[in-house]
A and B are shown apart, each in its own frame.
Chain A
Amino acid sequence: MTALIAIRELAKSFGPVPALADVSLDIRENEFFALLGPSGCGKTTLLRILAGFEMPDRGSVTLDGKDLVAIPANRRPVNMMFQSYALFPHMTVAGNVSYGLEMEGVKGPELARRVRDALAMVQLEPVAGRKPHLLSGGQRQRVALARALVKRPRLLLLDEPLAALDKKLREQMRIELKRIQHDTGITFLVVTHDQEEALVMADRIALMDRGAVAQLGSPRELYDRPATRFVAGFIGMSNVLEGRATAGGVAVAGLGALPATGEGIAPGAPVSLTIRPERVRLVAGGGGQVAGKITGIAYLGQDLLLQIGLPGRADPLVARLASGHPLADGLREGMAVSCDWAAADARMLTE
């Protein structure tokens, strides 16, 4: 796999605030790439630099090995689907979609055919003659997508593409976007603050924090092997216990030695132990590594979420177990429980 886009030590500040601090990453041909992070992490700035709406202060961006920064925004083989969709209100759906092709000088039957094909791909042919204000939110979103895709860009940028849709439509569109990416073979770069969205759609995710890439990897890698506490906290839910590294785990004040894995960490070093709620196991009849009292039970349908108060700690340990778990029916608030986890499921993090 070759790098389509190579970003090297890219930096950009607005006034005294650095929006991007020396970011380097590659985006591969044909992949569905997600830039994930909280608001203000720099993901939108990076997107706007790729589109040509912002100039970086330092660093380089190349596309197929050629300098992208030097090319004006209107001549880049990069197109964007705007968060607001930015549909031209005075043009019809077909007019919006043909606009970009007209700018390339595409004319006549070819123009008509390509517009028709693009509208067909997003199932919008029946509304081709309508103005945007008569469309539903979902239809507008697909016009914005078709308008950007019809130009067959080397890279399609999607700025929070699903944020304006309601929950149900959003879930459908995740799959739909994935299908379109697969069918067209165009490289997608999606910016989102919604970790679930990124996990479902992306081949690879760059999780950003304060202008830097906190971790880059597949959804699985980010979820199962978070590199930092920030990653562990941002992707999914994690319990965090502070302590010191020992030979086979972490010594936590008041709880004793707990099992965990971590590579290259010297014994005695201050570390955080992180454990996903669904990896915490309830042990019948006591005898687990951690004992506490149930302080809250939340019913989520398929699962139960338990808050377990630990002696001498303000934050409860959160455990998630299937509603059909053999112990589930007997659980009550105030009940003493005992739990443990496999060393392989708990990770030691130093930062």
Chain B
Amino acid sequence: MTDHPVARLQSRGTRRWLKGHAALVYLFLYGPIAMLAVLSFNDSGLPTSWGGFSFRWYGELLRNPAILHSVANSLVVAFFVTLIATAGGTLLALGLEQGRPSTALDSFVMVPMIIPDIVLAIALLSFYTTLQFTLGLYSIVLSQSVFVMAFAAAVVRTRLRNFDRSILEASVDLGADGWTTFWRVTLPAILPGVIAAALLSFTLSIDDFVIAYFSAGAGRSSTTFPMQIYAMIRFGVTPTINAIATILVLVSVTLMLTAQRLAREAQP
């Protein structure tokens, strides 16, 4: 094991301090989530006393029709958002990585990622109202696709940057036209990045509350999973949320770790 050259220049005290600090940071990041996971198996449901190990709250979750309905809604929305955002994000990445880098264009593409979600949410609500759209699941799909697409593009771009562009020239040199080159060379090379972008898109859509909330319109029929969670949290501390949290964390973490792997694997 070789230390980083900079680490070797630091005194042992400094290094120890940095490590201790980092340990606290990770504890801060994971402590609360870990606590919810533990509580989800607590029969008493209280954060203050252990009533024995149980799957009770998971059972209640499965018997709650409102929750199941909202999960179904979220999955439908996430499916279409993933399709649109992955396709759009891939095109965006290919376009941006071609030709001279443009700070202006890069900044523009960053706007959907950085714009406060409340602002985007009310802007879209105003937009739909002005056009007299009837709101529903499909308007959630349209709204989420905007910001998810920008994130998807960022993932594909990382992949594109790490791949040797001379293979495209080689393909053209060997007689392939642009279209063939895209299908036979470019796409296979960036495919792991595209899949990673799809997984990310799915996660972002499933997790989004604010944009969906404002784009869903009135009525319970288009309630998504996060909207359901929000209602439950506003209502008070409910042990079922611990079970939801544990499941959601597991799903998101699995998806993101897979995405991470794909985005980076087989780098030259």
Give bound CA distance, A14 to B1, whole Å: 8
Interface residues of B in 97-119 (CB under 8 A from A): none
Produce 1/0 per residue, B1-37, CB < 8 A to A.
Answer: 1100100110000000000000000000000000000
B38 to chain A, nearest CB (A): 40
Give bound CA distance, A53 to B9, whole Å: 7
CB-defined contacts of A53 to chain B, threshold 8 Å: 5, 8-9
Produce 1/0 per residue, B151-170, CB < 8 A to A.
Answer: 00000000000000000000
B3 to chain A, nearest CB (A): 10
B14 to chain A, nearest CB (A): 12
Count B interface residues, CB 8 Å.
5
Q: Is the CB of A15 within 8 A of B9?
A: no
Give bound CA distance, A15 to B1, whole Å: 7
Interface extent on A, as a size class? under 10
Q: Is the CB of A15 within 8 A of B2?
A: yes
Q: Is the CB of A73 within 8 A of B1?
A: no
CB-defined contacts of B8 to chain A, threshold 8 Å: 53-55
A14 to chain B, nearest CB (A): 6
CB-defined contacts of B5 to chain A, threshold 8 Å: 53
CB-defined contacts of A55 to chain B, threshold 8 Å: 8
Interface of B is mostly: helix
Closest to B2 in A: A14
A82 to chain B, nearest CB (A): 12
CB-defined contacts of B1 to chain A, threshold 8 Å: 15
Produce 1/0 per residue, A37-71, CB < 8 A to B.
Answer: 00000000000000001110000000000000000
Give bound CA distance, A15 to B9, whole Å: 19
Interface residues of A in 137-154 (CB under 8 A from B): none
Give bound CA distance, A295 to B179, whole Å: 51
Give bound CA distance, A54 to B4, whole Å: 11
Q: Is the CB of B2 within 8 A of A73?
A: no
Give bound CA distance, A17 to B64, whole Å: 62
Give bound CA distance, A287 to B9, whole Å: 67
Give bound CA distance, A55 to B3, whole Å: 12
B48 to chain A, nearest CB (A): 50
Give bound CA distance, A54 to B9, whole Å: 9
Closest to B11 in A: A72
Closest to A52 in B: B9
CB-defined contacts of A15 to chain B, threshold 8 Å: 1-2
Give bound CA distance, A170 to B255, whole Å: 54
Give bound CA distance, A53 to B8, whole Å: 7
Give bound CA distance, A73 to B8, whole Å: 10
Give bound CA distance, A15 to B3, whole Å: 11
B6 to chain A, nearest CB (A): 10
CB-defined contacts of A73 to chain B, threshold 8 Å: 9
Give bound CA distance, A119 to B9, whole Å: 29
Give bound CA distance, A55 to B9, whole Å: 10
Give bound CA distance, A196 to B9, whole Å: 34
B2 to chain A, nearest CB (A): 6
Report 9 cross-chain contacts, Cβ distance below 8 Å, ordered by A residue: A14-B2, A15-B1, A15-B2, A53-B5, A53-B8, A53-B9, A54-B8, A55-B8, A73-B9
4 tightest Cβ-Cβ pairs between the two chains A and B? A14-B2, A53-B5, A73-B9, A53-B8
